[in-house]
Chains A and B, each alone.
Chain A
Amino acid sequence: MDAMAELSAEQGYEATKIGDLVRRAGVARKTLYDNFDGKEAVFLAAVDGAVEDVSGRVEEACAAADGEWSQRVEGGLRAFLGYVAENPAAARMCMIEAISATPTASARYDEALRRFVELWRRSAPVEADLPETIGETLIGGVAWIVYQQIRRGGAGQALDLLPGLSEFVLSPYHGVSKLSPEPGGESNSTVADSNS
């Protein structure tokens, strides 16, 4: 499965052949077929393993960060970006190759996204004013930024994204407790000023 992550990240899922896999993993072709039905099965197992790994880490980090909700969010984000930085091949496999490798693989990607949205819903403060879809748009936005970072070959520097992404995901919650309400007139002038 590690070989699958490496190869699909290097050359793409389509171009990765069973022959490449067994060579890279240093196992016999027969051994591979004893354990898996074929290339797609290896790929799905590798994706599942990585998703388990990263979501476990994120959940742990969220639980470990005590105190304010914003610290839990930052802890979870840091764990996620840290995983991407340490496992660039697995990250590329899950966030780029899986989307289009096969229909089952893209369903796994959707499922992983759903899992993070659920985690968000469970841990975010219940805020009646916020849109119901806020978890989906925030997680989707984070996934998009990380996806771009990986595609640019910057997976290793994923942690550089932490401050910007923290601000992004926390901004909808700011008005609730931190920022005092701004009078409408003042905000409008901000809008006008910035256009000059």
Chain B
Amino acid sequence: MERLPRGRHGLSPEFVARNQRERLISGLIEVLYEVGYQKTTVSLIGQRASVSKSDFYKHFASKDDCFFAAYETAIERIRKQILDACTAHEEDEWSPRVRDGIAALLSSFASDPALASISLVEGLRAGPGVYDRYQAAVESFIPYLRNGAPQAPGGGEVPLATGEAVVGGIASLLGRRVLAGDVEKLEELLPDVLEFALTPYLGATEARRIISAG
């Protein structure tokens, strides 16, 4: 994010403050990706954002406070990409919608490794209080899978816990790949992840048919 000009620039104080806050959040996401949670300090975030330490504390009470804000920002960025991809479909086009949602999820991570890192890895291990947010984030994606989903192949509604397990399982797989340094290759996982997500709702045979149909 560009720094603002120094000195007299005619920008409103609110604008400057919002810009500083956004820069700090982006700064934290970058620094976190490079050095991990433990080594991320307020000074490093400030340096990266070109914001003084005293200005940092005007926006955030602590490193964790900034982390929480950055985490929310990261999750909302991903959510927006998924929702944009899903809105191309009618309500009744469940499996194409799930497919495009998952594709958007994978591409938003693959194109932004720092975003993937805070969302999938650091969000889980940055300490108590942070993983509450990871959990809330994972849960918040479950409705995108369940909305408009078909009944179980054997009849009856697919249990909520199955949707939770699918979303949690995807998050776990992606987190493992990000940790292993394979973030750029996440998009290759689309067929696997899609088949895994569709199977409990459509049955293995139908899920496979959809995947092989492309």
Whether A associates with B in a native complex is yes
Partner of A140, one of B149, B172, B192, B208: B172
Is the Cβ of B176 less than 8 Å from the Cβ of A136?
yes
Q: In terms of DSSP, what is the predominant structure of the interface of chain A?
A: helix
B138 an interface residue at 8 Å Cβ cutoff? Answer: yes
Contact (Cβ within 8 A) A137 B173? yes
A154 interface residue per 8 A CB criterion: no
**CB nearest neighbor in A for B124:** A99
Nearest B residue to A144 by beta-carbon distance?
Answer: B168
**Chain A residues near B91 (CB-CB < 8 A):** 195
Within 8 Å CB of A190, what residues of B?
150-151, 153, 202
Which candidate, B7-15, B17-25, B158-166, is the interface stretch facing chain A?
A: B158-166
**Does more than half of chain B's interface fall in helix, strand or loop, or is it mixed?**
helix
Q: Which chain A residues have a beta carbon within 8 Å of chain B's beta carbons?
A: 12, 14, 96, 99-100, 103, 106, 110, 113, 129-134, 136-145, 147-148, 151, 161, 164-165, 167-168, 171-176, 179, 181-182, 184, 187, 190-195
27 CB-based A-B contacts, threshold 8 Å: A99-B131, A100-B126, A106-B125, A110-B176, A131-B196, A133-B196, A139-B172, A140-B173, A141-B169, A144-B167, A148-B168, A165-B161, A167-B162, A168-B162, A171-B203, A173-B204, A175-B206, A175-B207, A179-B205, A182-B205, A187-B202, A191-B150, A191-B202, A193-B150, A193-B151, A194-B149, A194-B150
Interface residues of chain B, those whose CB is within 8 Å of chain A, are 36, 38, 91-92, 94-95, 124-128, 130-131, 135, 138, 148-151, 153, 159, 161-162, 164-173, 176, 179, 189, 191-193, 195-196, 199-200, 202-209
